Chains A and B, each alone.
Chain A
Amino acid sequence: MIVKNLSRLIRVRNPTSSTKRALLWSAVFLVLFSSIFLIVVTHWIDTKSDLQRNNLFRRGWVEFINSTAEHQPDETLVIIVSNSQGYGGEVEDDATYASRLEQLFAENDQKKLRVLNWSIYGGHIVEMGILAAAAKRLEPDLFFYIENPSRFHSRLLRYKTGKGRSIGIASDIGFLLWYSEIRDSIPKRFLAPFFRPIDFFEIALAHIFKPYRYRELLLSELTVPEPIKPFDKRGRLGLWHQKPISREKLSRQLRQNEKMAKEGRPVVKPEDIGWDLVSDFFRAADGMTGEKYFIQMPLHSLAHKQNDAITKYFAQIAEESGFKVSDFTQNIPDEEYISLTHLNEAGHQRMAARLAELIKR
C-alpha cells in the first residue's frame, strides 16, 4: 500500500522518464534503508556489543582512555609502545609479552603491575610520538619504547611521502589529538598527517550520512588485522595472515642485504632518514615523570645485520632525551620466532621475562 502510494506520488510529480523515476526510487530507498540500518545497528551497539566509539565514530581509543585514565597509587603503571611484534597478532590477547609481564608480577605476588600495551600493527613514527605524548597524561612509572631502528626508515619514508596515516586502529590515534595538552606537546609537523582536508570531508560525510560512521567500525570487526580463523579447521593461521617465512627466504633477504652492503649501498640510505624527526619523536616524551627505556627489539639471527649508523644514532638521541637504552636484539632464540621479527608464544613469554628482569633491576 505504502509502496503503491509512494509510486503514485513519484509518478505524478515526475512523469518524465523511467530513468528519472529509478533515480528517485534510489533516493527513497536510500533514506529508508539508512533509517532501518541505523535503528538496527544503534540498538545492537547499545544492547549487545561491547564496542565503543569515539567522537570521530571510530572504534578503539575511547575504551582505551576509559580504562587507563586513572593511575592507582598502589600500582606500578607500565606503558609499552611498540610495533607489530608487541601487538602480537599471532598470539591470543593474554599471551602477548605485555600481558605475560603483568601475569608474571601477579604470580610472584609482588607490587601490582599494570601494563598497557600501546603497540600498533604497522605503527608509524608520528603515531608513536603522539602515543608518547599521550602517555604523559597517565604519569606512568615506566615507559618502554621497543623498536627496530634499522626498520624505522620505512615509517619515516611514509611520513615524508605524505602517506602518513595507517589503517585500522592506528587511525584512531587522531582521537588523541583532540586533547590540547597532547597536541601541544608534539611537533606541529606531526599533526599534519591527521588534519588533511579529506579527514574533515570524511567526518562531515559521517555527520550527513549517518550509516557511513559505522563503516570503519564493522570493518574493524571483520578484517584488520585479525586473521579469519574459522576458515582453518586445524587452527592454523589464515592464508592472508603472516606465515612463518622459510629459511630459504630469510637467507635470501640476508644475502640481499649483505650484497647491498658490499656494493656500498646501505640497507637504509642516510638521505632517506628524516634525522630531525627521530629527535622530535624522542622529544615528544619530554616531561614524562617515570623511567623511560628505549629497547632495540629482539630479532631473528638472520636479521641481526643492522644499519650501524642508524642504530647508533637512535641510541645517542635516546640517551640525550633521557631514555635508558637496552639492546634486546639477540635475546630470543631463533626457534621462538615465526618470522624475522614476530614471536610465537614462547618468544613472548621469554621477552616478558627479560623485561621483568629489567624492571627488577
Chain B
Amino acid sequence: MTFASLEFGSLLLITFLCYYFLPQRGRMILLIAASYVFYCYWNPVYGLLIFASTVLDYFVALKISRASRKKTKKRYLLASIIGNLGMLGYFKYTDFALESLKALLGPLGQNLPQPFELILPLGISFYTFQTMSYAIDVYRGNKNAEDDFLLVALYVCFFPQLVAGPIEKAQYLMAQLARKQPFTYENMETGIRLISWGLFKKCVVGDRLALAASGAYTNPEMYDTGVLAFSAAAMFVVVYLDFSAYSEIARGTASLFGIQLSRNFNFPHAATNIAEYWRRWHMSMSRWVQDYLFRPLGGFNARKPLIYSRTMLITMGLVGLWHGAQWTFVLWGLLNGVSLICYHMLYLHILRRYKKSRLLKSIVWICGSWLFSMTIRILISILFFSPDIKSAGIFFDRLCLHPDSSGFDESFVILGAFILCIFWMFHFAHEYVEKRGGITLFSPITRGAMYTLLFFIILFGAVEQADPFIYFQF
C-alpha cells in the first residue's frame, strides 16, 4: 500500500476517526493493527518478518537490561545484530553475493547455486536499522528496556514511518507512543498540510518529471548530450522530491495521531558543499550512521587523516550498499566518501584559515561553490539511477567525455526548466515560510484558500497511477 493511493487514504481515515475515541491501550492496538494491514496489504507473509524482528529485540533488550555482566550484555546485543542483519543480508544481499562471486570466479563459479531471485521485503532496511538501534541504545544505557511488548511492537511497525523512515530513536518515539496524545486542531492542520505538500511534490511534480527524465537512464546510448544533461539534473531532483515527499507524508500522518516525527530533510539542494549536503539530506539516516557506525569505527580525527579517510570510505561504502545490493550503489557511496574526504581536507588545510575573509563570504564564492558541489553531486548521482556500471559508464561518456549534441532538442531543456522553476518557486516559498514561524504567519482565510488550491492541484495534476516511492526498494 503506497501513500499515494485511495487504499491508504481509506485506512488513514478509518484509523484517524477511531483513534481519539479509544483509551491509550486501545489506541496502541489500533495503530499496530493499522500498521500490519498497511504492511501486509503488499505481502501478508512478510508481516512475519516484522513480528520476528519485534520479538527478537523485545527479548534481547530485556535480557541486556537484566544482565549484570558486560560480556553477557554484549552476547545478547550480538544476537540482536546477527538476527537483524542476518535477515537483511539474506533477503537483500544473497543474490547479489552469489552473482558477484560467480562473476569473480568465472568458469570456477559454475558450480555455485543459481541466484534465489528473492523478493526484497518492503522497507526491510529501515525497520531493521530502527529495531537494532533500540537494542544498541539499551546496551549503551541510553534507554531503559521496555517491558510493554505492545509499545515495542508499535515502535517497530508504526505505519507512517515503517517502510522508508524517518529512522527514529527509541527514546524519542517510544516516549511519544506511550503517552496519550490529546486531539488538537494544530496537529490536524499540520498533518493535512504536510500530507498535501508531500502528495504535491510526489504526484504532481516528481512523477511527471521522472516520466520525462528516467528513460535516458535505461538506454543512454540512444540519447544526445542535451537530453542526458537534463535527465541527470532532473532525476537528481526527482529523488529528492520523491523521498522528501514520503518523509513529509509520514510526518503529516503521524501528526494526525499527535506524534511528531523528526525532519528528514533541511533543503539539501541549498547546500554549498558536500559535507553540508549530507547534514541536510536524509538526516535521520545520517544521524544513525554517525552514532552507530562512523563514530564507533573511529569518527572524525583531524590529526589522523588516514584513519579518518579509511573510516569515511568504509562508512560511505556501507551506506551505498545499504541503498541497494548493486555495485553501482557501492561505487556511489565510495565516490561520495571520496568527495567528503577531499572537502574535509580542503577545509582543514585551506578554507578554515580564510573563513572570515571577504572572498569566502562573497556572493560569487557562495554561488560558485554551490554550482561546483551541485555538479559533482549530480555526476555522482548518475550511478544511483543507472541499472549497471556499464550503463553509467556510457551515460558519463556521452555526457562528459564524448558529448554529442547533433540531435540536441532544446524543448527538453525548456520543459525541464519550466517544471523545475515552478517547483523551486513553490519550494523556496515553503522553506521561507517554515523558517519564519510556519504557516501560522498567514491568516486563516489565506491558509484555507491555499489548502483548497493545493487539493485541487493534486486532484487534477497528479499522475493517474503514482510510481512506488524510490526508497521503498531499499
Contacts and interface: CB of A to CB of B under 8 A. Distances in A.
Interface in A19-45: 19-30, 33, 37
B215 interface: yes
A312 interface: no
B212 interface: yes
A33 B452 contact: yes
B189 A23 contact: yes
Contacts of B414: 231
A59 to B, nearest CB: 12
B227 interface: yes
Contacts of A201: 6, 10
Interface string B410-448: 011011000000000000000000000000100111011
Given A23-B189, A239-B412, A212 B448 contact: no
A349 to B, nearest CB: 26
A262 interface: no
Contacts of B445: 3, 7, 21-22, 25
Contact of B460 (A215, A246, A248): A215
B404 interface: no
A30 B409 CA distance: 41
Given A167-B464, A167-B465, A234-B409, 4 more contacts: A25-B444, A29-B449, A29-B452, A231-B411
Nearest to B451: A26
A24 B409 contact: no
A239 B464 contact: no
A202 interface: yes
A231 B415 contact: yes
Contact of A23 (B216, B222, B411, B448): B448
Nearest to B227: A239
Interface in B14-61: none
Interface of A: 3, 7, 16-30, 33, 37, 167-168, 198, 201-202, 205, 211-212, 214-216, 218-219, 223-224, 231-234, 236, 238-240, 243, 245-246, 248-249
B463 A223 contact: yes
A239 B412 CA distance: 8
Contacts of B447: 22, 25-26
26 contacts: A19-B184, A21-B448, A22-B444, A22-B445, A22-B447, A22-B448, A22-B451, A23-B448, A24-B444, A26-B451, A27-B448, A29-B452, A33-B453, A198-B6, A201-B10, A219-B464, A231-B412, A233-B409, A239-B212, A239-B213, A239-B227, A240-B212, A243-B222, A246-B221, A248-B221, A249-B222
Contacts of A216: 464
A198 B7 contact: yes
A25 B453 CA distance: 12
Interface string B261-287: 000000000000000000000000000
A19 B189 contact: yes
Contact of B219 (A3, A219, A245): A245
A218 B459 CA distance: 10
B378 to A, nearest CB: 18
Nearest to B454: A26
A236 B452 CA distance: 38
A256 to B, nearest CB: 13
Contact of A37 (B211, B412, B456): B456
A7 B443 CA distance: 11
B116 interface: no
Contacts of A29: 448-449, 451-452
Contacts of A231: 411-412, 414-415
Given A22-B448, A22-B451, A29-B452, A202 B6 contact: yes
A118 to B, nearest CB: 21
Nearest to B214: A240
A23 B447 CA distance: 8
B455 interface: yes
A19 B186 contact: yes
Interface in B206-246: 211-213, 215-216, 219, 221-222, 227
A246 B448 CA distance: 52
Nearest to A7: B445
Contacts of B212: 238-240
Contacts of B463: 219, 223
B10 to A, nearest CB: 6
Contacts of A211: 456, 459
Nearest to B416: A239
Contacts of A33: 452-453, 456
A49 to B, nearest CB: 15
Nearest to A199: B6
A20 B465 contact: no
A218 B464 CA distance: 10
A243 B220 CA distance: 12
Nearest to A28: B448
B188 interface: yes
Contact of A240 (B189, B211, B448): B211
Contacts of A219: 460, 463-464
Contacts of A7: 445
Nearest to A212: B459
A256 B445 CA distance: 60
Q: Which 9 A-B pairs have the closest CB atoms?
A: A25-B448, A21-B444, A29-B452, A22-B447, A22-B444, A19-B185, A26-B448, A26-B451, A231-B411
A246 B219 contact: yes
Contacts of A16: 185
A232 B211 CA distance: 16
Contacts of A214: 460
Contacts of B449: 25, 29
Nearest to B211: A240
A231 B444 CA distance: 40
A23 B412 contact: no
A23 B184 CA distance: 12
B438 to A, nearest CB: 11
A125 B412 CA distance: 36
A216 B462 CA distance: 10
A234 B445 CA distance: 47
A201 B6 CA distance: 8
